[in-house]
Amino acid sequence: MSGEAGERDRIPLAQPVIGEAEEQAVLEVLRSGQLSLGPKLLAFERRFAERLGVDHASAVSSGTAGLHLALRAVGVGPGDEVISSPFSFIASSNTILMQDATPVFVDVEPDTLTIPADAVAAAVTERTAALLPVHIFGQPADVAGIEPLGLPIVEDAAEALGAVHADGTPVGGRGHPAIFAFYANKQLTTGEGGLVATADPAIKATIDSERNQGRAPDMQWLDHDRLGFNYRLSDIQCALGLAQLDRLDGMLADRARVAAWYAEALADLVARTGLELLAPDAGGERRSWFVYVVRVPRGVDRDATITALAERGIQTRPYLPAIHLFSFYRERFGFREGQFPVTEDAAARGLSLPFFPAMTQDQVARVVAELTAVLTGDGAPAA
């Protein structure tokens, strides 16, 4: 497809839900003259914490900033080890390096793509300073299973707003520092932004100071008593976040509905080709649908599939590369292929399909029809 018609017919990978309420909320802040460290920040933090059932929340400039500050707040520093997942967006690992600590990876479960508690326990050493489970693609990680290890836990819940653990606790609501992210493709967006939820007032105080250049606890102007950063989230963004919170339940329901349409429409292709879908909810857990990722059949060239779909007006992406196979990590830590086979298989075959709350059933049907044509046609891309 090309030209004006092609662009009009193209189905994007993601699309935020922004309406008049968001526009009015932002306009109100612009007219107020207080664009940062104002009442919208406090209101956004309070409402977010209430939704999770925790006492505290600190809004920050990104999920990455939140991970960095949370790792600092629980005491991770030079020479320490942090156990985490190699199947994640790279920020979960990069922020460990930002503290001059070492990421220790354990392979993920084939069904949930999260790190199993027994593997985490086996990886603990005297240098382990923290555990960093990732709620990948909105799937709750087994936080309850690693809590008995007695180590600080920092949860990467950037993709999991609205997910629920088997015991009914919202992901991010167990009290450990839990990081959420609000990029435009997330369940809730502030454009850029993030937040750390916690039950610990001392962690809240530390993060509030360090996000604002290490300003002293009384927050007096230009009184700084520690190393800090410019990790603030503006009142403009917090106002957008508040408007998004008002419609969050509806957007989560819309995402779940689109996921259900996909599962139904893809059932035949799964049976015919060996295409794999994400595992369904089990044991009382509830995923929060962030992306809709499939694994192409074995023997199919995933990257060629992406190219073929793009030519048909369907935007897709590989989700996600294996962190330990990035050249920077190979060179620094000596990682090699074959160390984490489940992660490597998921990284090699993962394909994110167009997915957003306003997606229609007709759009889902078209994506599935084009994917079927690519995988079953005469020119199906072989690996």
Question: From edge to edge, which strands make up the β-sheet containing 81-84?
Answer: 102-105, 81-84, 128-132
Residues 6+ apart with CB under 8 A from 243: 21, 22, 24, 25
Torsion of the alpha carbons at 372, 378, 380 and 383, rounded to the nearest 10: 150
Whether 231 and 210 have beta carbons less than 8 Å apart is answered as: yes
Strand-pairing partners, residue 57, are: 197
CB 146 within 8 A of CB 154: no
Our separate counts of H helices and E strands in the chain read 14, 11
Q: Are strands 128-132 and 81-84 parallel, antiparallel or unpaired?
A: parallel
Q: Which residues are catalytic?
A: 186
Report yes or no: 38 and 233 within 8 Å, Cβ to Cβ.
Answer: no
Q: Is 32 exposed, middle or buried (0-12, 13-18, 19+ CB in 10 A)?
A: middle
Contact status, residue 181 vs residue 194, Cβ threshold 8 Å: yes
